[in-house]
Chains A and B, each alone.
Chain A
Amino acid sequence: MRRCTLFYALLSIVLALTSAVGCREKQQITGSTTENTGKPISISGAYALYPMVVRWSEEYKARHPGIQFDVQAGGAGKGMTDVLAGAVDIAMISRSIKEVEVEQGAVPFAVCKDAVVFVVNAQNPVLDLLSAHGLTKEQLARLFLNPEPITWGALLGTGHTERVNVYTRADSCGAAEMVAKYLGVEAQEDLHGIAVNGDPGVAEAVRRDPLGIGYNNIGFAYDLTTGVAVSGLQVVPLDLNGNYQLDPDESFYATKTDIVAAIAAGRYPSPPARALYLVTKGSPDPVEADFIRWVLTDGQAFVDEVGYVSLPETVLQTELGRLP
């Protein structure tokens, strides 16, 4: 009995002490520390940028032992929320930064480019037609902006009676915003369809549904190692001039290398192509700034390799100039 009381008394004291220490530590973190305290650089946000940042953090860690990273994907919305709340050091953002976010202290640095592509299931009954003709902006708008169900036949003017199952993103993200902007509307909430969580979630949903159509960042639509579309998925070409034919200059979807070249040359429309940003709250502290500086200089060597598009040198220089 007595030992029990003593134990609880001690436990309470220990708890009280640790929570006090915890508070002190927090204050230290939010205060501007100049030396690296051994705390990992925490990064969260866009799925689009996740594979790239993971690679960058590995390469940077190899060059700077003692620096640790904690990288998590959860959508651009979550990244922005986290960084503005001080929960993480850097956010990965896959859309333009909003005025309101800048007012709250968001400082964006453009680091590379990628694009969102539309994907269907590799077993899709009209796959040949889709590959031969692509889809026009109007056809995609009919799918994503209109909640009424439609058959693949009605969409393509053929006799197919299978329904189109449209998939969109549930978590707030840059990819959905890019698709919305491409289709001429404002925001993610204007897109209709079954909403699933995360970039991998959409890919998985379409991979399991022969009648599905969705959209993914190229990093999730194409296989990193083979360079072609992820098994079970097929990327839908965009019929850019709306002549219901896929012309030679519109055909660049076979491999990741092809589409990356098209994005770099501006042949793939923007949006859905867009710049990707690392965002800090206020000016980055020396540790963060050093990492971002490395990303904008030596780190650019890995952009091609991981399958992203480099920004023009002038843009990189501008971004470098904005670092403290």
Chain B
Amino acid sequence: MNSTGNLAPNRGASRGTFIQYRARHVISWVTGILFTSLSTLIVILVPALLGALLVRSWTLVSAIPLPRLLIGTEWRPLSGAFGFAPFIAGSLWVTAIALAVAVPVALLGAIYLAEYAHPRTRTSLKPLIELLAGIPSVVYGLWGILVIVPVVRQLAAFTRTDNPTGYSVLSGGLVLAVMVIPFILALSEEVLRAVPQGLREATLALGATQWEVVKHVLLRQARSGIIAAVVLGFARAFGETLAVLMVVGNVVQLPRSPFDAAYTLPALIANNFGEMMSIPLYDAALMTAALILFLIVFSFNFGARLVLRRVGGTDDVSQ
């Protein structure tokens, strides 16, 4: 029953009385049970969440088949039209822009911190980056309104967009990028640092330059961990609510350019939850939005796992 296995019986038993010995065993038995049940809880959480979302969204999904909901572009709950395509497209646009900006910056930053930076630089920069990752999203949103939106408005003036306000997919993507950079950077840096020192030395001994070491050895070794960091970053970006809804314009349409306003799935839920209880299916529609959000993040994770398996993820440092 002693599943913790961290109590060496030859230690303490000689020191303590029989009672103490029993007490220690009881304690370790209890903690074993506790930890097992806690980890079971986490495993149960995902199906439980999915189940709850399915149950709550069922009234809509049974009335209108899911494929039709997914490709429908018409969103007029009052007249019973629930098309999620604008929200899905908006979410994907914003996330794609965010990752396109964030991944290169975060990765290069991680390589610099892990391989090139002076140890003192690293120890002073790390806490700063972690601090950035911990700033509440409403602060990022506010900063987006004050800084990013005006900048995007200036840019929009040079294009032939019919939304010159600056509240757009691009603003949402840029704010998100700033939010996920510290996140992906910190994770990737940890992964790179976890690559055994011997590999670096062996490669350098073969006459490789430092950049060649990074390119051919480290990135290859840490690939799966870095992909995991990007996937986590994607999940975080895709589900970010407040910061995005403050700058994205919240217009229900399929965005056709980065300067168009859009509406994201999390914003749809946040703006309308609990409202319009008089409209049949509205509640179920919001739950369906949550379900779609869940499924997209889940399938992205799943896809990333498949990719990792295909490329034969080396010793998976992320685990």
The interface of chain A, by Cβ under 8 A from chain B, is 1-2, 4-6, 8-9, 12, 77-78, 80-82, 84-85, 98-101, 104, 149, 163, 165, 167, 170-172, 186-187, 189-190, 192-197, 201, 204-205, 208-209, 211-212
Contacts and interface: CB of A to CB of B under 8 A. Distances in A.
Contact of B277 (A9, A101, A149): A101
A172 B274 CA distance: 10
Given A78-B274, A201-B246, A208-B150, A5 B4 contact: yes
B27 interface: yes
Interface in B214-261: 245-246, 249-251, 261
Contacts of A81: 273-275
Contacts of B167: 194, 196, 205
B250 A195 contact: yes
B34 interface: yes
Contact of B249 (A2, A84, A163, A195): A195
Contact of A194 (B30, B249, B273): B249
Given A2-B6, A192-B251, A194-B261, 6 more contacts: A8-B35, A81-B273, A149-B162, A189-B77, A193-B251, A201-B145
Nearest to B273: A81
A104 B277 contact: yes
B209 interface: no
A101 B149 CA distance: 37
Given A104-B277, A165-B164, A12 B31 contact: yes
A170 B30 contact: no
Nearest to A172: B275
Give the size category of B's interface with A. 35 or more
B274 A197 contact: no
B103 interface: no
A288 B200 CA distance: 68
A118 to B, nearest CB: 17
B55 to A, nearest CB: 18
Contacts of A186: 78
Contacts of A190: 78
A2 B7 contact: yes
Given A78-B274, A104-B277, A197-B246, A204 B164 contact: no
A190 B35 CA distance: 52
Contacts of B14: none
Given A5-B4, A9-B30, A196-B250, A189 B274 contact: no
A98 B164 CA distance: 37
A171 B268 CA distance: 9
A172 B277 contact: no
Contacts of A194: 163, 165, 167, 249-251, 261
Contacts of B7: 1-2, 5
Interface string B25-59: 00110110011000000000000000000000000
B88 interface: no
A170 B245 contact: yes
B78 A189 contact: yes
A80 B274 CA distance: 7
Contacts of B150: 208
B251 A204 contact: no
Contact of B275 (A80, A163, A165): A80
Given A98-B277, A101-B277, A165 B6 contact: no
B152 to A, nearest CB: 12
Contacts of A208: 149-150
A6 B27 contact: yes
A9 B274 contact: no
Contacts of A84: 274
Given A186-B78, A194-B251, A195-B249, A1 B275 contact: no
B271 A2 contact: no
Interface in B119-176: 141, 145, 149-150, 153, 162-165, 167
Contacts of B153: 209
B76 interface: yes
Nearest to B7: A2
9 contacts: A1-B7, A8-B35, A9-B27, A77-B274, A80-B275, A99-B278, A165-B164, A193-B251, A204-B145
B277 to A, nearest CB: 5
A14 B190 CA distance: 32
Given A170-B267, A189-B77, A77 B272 contact: yes
Contacts of A211: 164
B72 interface: no
Contacts of B273: 81
Contacts of B246: 196-197, 201
Nearest to B29: A9
Contacts of B278: 98-100
Contacts of A12: 31, 34
B24 interface: yes
B303 interface: no
B265 to A, nearest CB: 14
In the A-B complex, the 3 residue pairs with the smallest Cβ-Cβ separation, listed nearest first, are A81-B274, A195-B250, A77-B275
Contacts of A205: 145, 165, 167
